[in-house]
């Protein structure tokens, strides 16, 4: 079908959507179908903006009809096509769908699409603060829907971005929360050392040495195997170097760990912050 067909569907839909009289209810139903046809035709022809607009108009008509579940589907369709050309329009449409899902008590669908919203903020917009907030909301909804594994995934994303934004206490709380959840299942216990390492690095960035050592002691209690891991030894050695203000020792510890366990950019950035804090400490000798 051509763009001309889509335009005809659109024109007919608009006329029926504005019809008045005894049979206007039936006209709305027909209008919604025609807006959907227009959207589908524009979509086949890769006219993304026109398709998105048609789906949004379909959703508006369905809301007027109180067909909110169908309206949510229309908003999702609009979001998918808008994503091709305009992340902000895609986000706006997806937010409308999420609002309907929460109002309707469809929390599984709300959580899944809220997670998708967070991913769009992260990858399409590049706004990690909005992504962090959206992931936290999704995590809360997943927890309420008894989907802890998916909640953990969102919490880890939120923690990662919180640290990048310098909100280390928030990051620590989220990493420790996921580690505690991981401790309850054999299949996830192996991941605990990674989460505890990240929480420990955030503690080091805060700069409270006493609190950091207390946290490491607590981690060894949370996971009885943690004290035997390279991650635990690494945190302790880094803390010793920081307390001694020994840059040479700090560098040696980091290089030794990196030789066997490659440090990713996120950890490297945090370690650089810790290293700079050593350099900035006043020398009273």
- Can you give the three-state secondary structure of the chain, one letter per residue? CCHHHHHHHHHHHHHHHCCCCCCHHHHHHHHHHHHHHHHHHHHHCCCHHHHHHHHHHHHHHHHHCCCHHHHHHHHHHHHHHHCCCCHHHHHHHHHHHHHHHHHCCCHHHHHHHHHHHHHHHHHHHCCHHHHHHHHHHHHHHHHHCCCHHHHHHHHHHHHHHHHHCCCHHHHHHHHHHHHHHHCCCHHHHCCHHHHHHHHHHHHHHHCCHHHHHHHHHHHHHHCCCHHHCHHHHHHHHHHHHHHCCCHHHHHHHHHHHHHHCCCCHHHHHHHHHHHHHHHHCCCCC
CATH level 2 (architecture), domain 1-104: Alpha Horseshoe (1.25)
Task: Give tens-digit pLDDT for 67-79.
Answer: 999 999 999 999 9
| Mean pLDDT computed over 167-193 | 89
- pLDDT (0 to 100) of residue 284: 40
- pLDDT (0 to 100) of residue 6: 87
Task: Give tens-digit pLDDT for 185-237.
Answer: 766 777 999 999 999 999 999 999 999 999 999 999 999 999 999 999 999 99
| Mean pLDDT computed over 99-118 | 97
- pLDDT (0 to 100) of residue 244: 96
Whether 1-104 and 166-285 share one fold: the answer is yes
Under the banding of pLDDT at 50, 70 and 90, the label for residue 34 is very high
- pLDDT (0 to 100) of residue 190: 79
pLDDT > 60? residue 3 = yes
The residues spanned by each domain of the chain are 1-104, 106-160, 166-285
Predicted TM-score (pTM) of this structure: 0.91
pLDDT > 70? residue 24 = no
Under the banding of pLDDT at 50, 70 and 90, the label for residue 18 is confident
Give me the CATH topology for the region 166-285. 1.25.40
């Amino acid at each position: 079908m051509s763009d001309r067909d889509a335009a005809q569907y659109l024109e007919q839909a608009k006329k029926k959507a504005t019809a008045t009289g005894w049979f206007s209810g039936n006209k709305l139903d027909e209008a919604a179908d025609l807006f959907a046809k227009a959207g589908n035709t524009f979509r086949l022809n890769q006219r993304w903006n026109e398709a998105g607009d048609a789906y949004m108009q379909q959703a508006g008509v369905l809301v007027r009809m109180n067909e909110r579940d169908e309206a949510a589907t229309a908003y999702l369709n609009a979001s998918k096509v808008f994503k091709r050309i305009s992340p902000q329009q895609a986000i706006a449409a997806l937010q409308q769908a999420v609002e309907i899902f929460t109002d309707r008590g469809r929390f599984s669908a709300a959580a899944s699409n809220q997670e998708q919203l967070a991913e769009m903020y992260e990858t399409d917009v590049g706004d990690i603060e909005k992504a962090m907030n959206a992931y936290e909301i999704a995590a809360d909804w997943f927890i309420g829907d008894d989907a802890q594994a998916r909640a953990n995934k969102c919490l880890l994303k939120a923690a990662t971005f919180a640290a990048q934004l310098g909100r280390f206490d928030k990051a620590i709380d989220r990493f420790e929360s996921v580690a505690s959840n991981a401790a309850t299942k054999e299949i996830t216990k192996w991941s605990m050392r990674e989460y505890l390492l990240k929480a420990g690095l955030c503690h080091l960035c805060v700069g409270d040495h006493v609190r950091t050592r207390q946290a490491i002691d607590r981690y060894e209690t949370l996971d009885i195997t943690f004290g035997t891991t390279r991650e635990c030894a690494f945190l302790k050695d880094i803390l010793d170097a920081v307390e001694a203000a020994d840059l040479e020792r700090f560098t040696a510890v980091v290089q030794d760990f990196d030789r066997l366990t490659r440090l990713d950019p996120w950890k490297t950035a945090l370690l650089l912050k810790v290293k700079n804090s050593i350099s900035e400490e006043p020398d009273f000798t």
